[in-house]
Amino acid sequence: MLIIVFLAGFLIIEAYFRLLNPQNTEESVFNEWYAWEHIPGYKGTFKSLYPGEFNTAIRINSRGLRDHEYNYWRNSKRRVVVLGDSYANGHGVELEETFSKVLEDMIGKDNIEIINAGHKGYGPQEEIMYYRHEISNYQPDIVLMAIFMGNDIHDVTLLNISDGKLVENGPLPKPGLQMRLRRWMARKSHTYVFVLETFIKNDALRDLLIRWGFFMPRWSPYFTKDPGAYQEDLDETIRLIRAFNQELEQDNTKLMILLIPTVEQAYEAKQEMFEMTEGFDINLGNEEMMRFCEEEGLECLDLLSYFHESEQELYYEHDRHFTALAHDLTARLLYQELLS
């Protein structure tokens, strides 16, 4: 009897959330080559944990993109695909507010297709694997790789580089039972997501969930690494991108790089709010990436100096992702870069 009462109560609460207060259900599933991929056809909402920041619609198309439907086959339009993490995907803004779509409107949809292939949590290695296994089917003229300078510089595990060429390490083993159960609940239950995200707001409860393995930290400690370890990861990331560029060149596809700064980099006043290794040069990655691009002859746009000069609110105060203003500024800068 107690079980029946519990289940009835749970179903009533679940119905309330689904109908009146939808939660941020999980839109991704496991992929054996690049860890996670969007669920084709997913429809949901994504709202900030902090009231008033944003509440956006998430629609995933039939091929797993947060974008409109696109065929693999080409027409006469130029085609650009944007690889990246949640910043490229448009975390916190509507699809038409993402820099991909704003830039597409600026150039003109009659002339170009800009496909948003961003996915939260991706770094260069996941993006390269995603491109090799899926996105290359779109036969782009340009690949724009958006690199978030916070947690995109990390050790490479999905790929090796042998004689300058990329070698895949996959397929990946399936996640353990606990991980599969957690992800399934996050996809299916609005009540579970509400309880989980309520705990996230409480530091003590969040730390407890992390220790129990039911929650992963939403933000990596960007600049707390040992400088030597960070340099090794940076060098490996550059080698990875160099080999990827060589692959693209064989298909007559151009690679462009977009460097996305963290809020700590953009606003010096924010640096004291976050833990950082003493003496860590938080702009080292930008400087070395720009040097690499110059050596390789790649077009590379570093947003950092432009964000320094801007007086607009470019990041959400709590969530720390781009606002629509940041996407608009990024699109305008990319437009100038493409024109040049």
> Judging by DSSP bridges, how do beta strands 55-59 and 43-47 pair with one another?
antiparallel
Cβ-in-10-Å burial (0-12, 13-18, 19+) of 192 comes to: buried
Q: How confident is the model at residue 219 (pLDDT cuts 50, 70, 90)?
A: very low
Query: What does the alpha-carbon distance between residue 340 and residue 338 come to, in Å, rounded to a whole number?
Result: 5
Identify whether the C-beta of residue 325 lies closer than 8 Å to the C-beta of residue 311: no
Q: Is the pLDDT of residue 99 over 70?
A: yes
CA distances from 289 to 60, 123, 184, 236, 253 (A): 32, 15, 38, 12, 20
pTM above 0.75, yes or no: yes
Say which range, 54-68, 88-102, 215-229, 312-326, has the weakest mean pLDDT. Answer: 215-229
Helix (H, G, I), strand (E, B) or coil at 282: coil
pLDDT at position 42 is 96
As a whole number of Å, the end-to-end CA separation of the chain is: 72
Confirm whether 111 is domain-assigned: yes
What is the span of the domain harbouring residue 247? 75-171+220-339
pLDDT at position 206 is 63
Name the region of 121 (left: φ>0; alpha: ψ -120 to 50; beta: rest): left
Q: How confident is the model at residue 155 (pLDDT cuts 50, 70, 90)?
A: confident
Q: Is the pLDDT of residue 237 over 80?
A: yes
Confirm whether 93 is domain-assigned: yes
Confirm whether 246 is domain-assigned: yes
Q: How confident is the model at residue 270 (pLDDT cuts 50, 70, 90)?
A: confident
What is the average pLDDT value for the chain, to the nearest integer?
A: 89
Average confidence (pLDDT) over 132-141: 97
pLDDT at position 200 is 63
Average confidence (pLDDT) over 134-142: 97
Say which range, 41-45, 113-117, 226-230, has the weakest mean pLDDT. Answer: 226-230
Confirm whether 17 is domain-assigned: no
Confirm whether 265 is domain-assigned: yes
Residue (of 127, 125, 129, 132) closest to 116 by Cα position: 127
Ranges assigned E (strand) in 26-130: 28-31, 35-38, 43-47, 55-59, 78-83, 112-116
Average confidence (pLDDT) over 291-316: 95
Place of tokens 């085609």: 79
DSSP letters for 215-272:
---SS--TT-S-HHHHHHHHHHHHHHHHHHHHHHHHTT-EEEEEEEPPHHHH-GGGGG
Query: What does the alpha-carbon distance between residue 158 and residue 171 come to, in Å, rounded to a whole number?
Result: 9
Q: How confident is the model at residue 220 (pLDDT cuts 50, 70, 90)?
A: very low
Q: Is the pLDDT of residue 201 over 80?
A: no
Confirm whether 179 is domain-assigned: no
pLDDT digit string (tens) for 29-60? 999 999 999 999 999 999 988 888 999 999 99
pLDDT at position 193 is 87
Q: Where residue 247 sits, what CATH number does that domain have?
A: 3.40.50.1110
pLDDT at position 292 is 97
The enclosing H or E element of 302 equals strand 299-302
pLDDT at position 164 is 86
Average confidence (pLDDT) over 106-129: 95
Q: Is the pLDDT of residue 147 over 90?
A: yes
Query: What does the alpha-carbon distance between residue 63 and residue 236 come to, in Å, rounded to a whole number?
Result: 31
Q: Is the pLDDT of residue 310 over 80?
A: yes
Q: What are phi and psi of 8, to 5 degrees?
A: -65, -45
Average confidence (pLDDT) over 104-129: 96
Confirm whether 6 is domain-assigned: no
Q: Is the pLDDT of residue 218 over 50?
A: no
Look up residue 89 and give its two tokens.
Answer: 């995907």
How many domains is the chain built from?
A: 1
Confirm whether 204 is domain-assigned: no
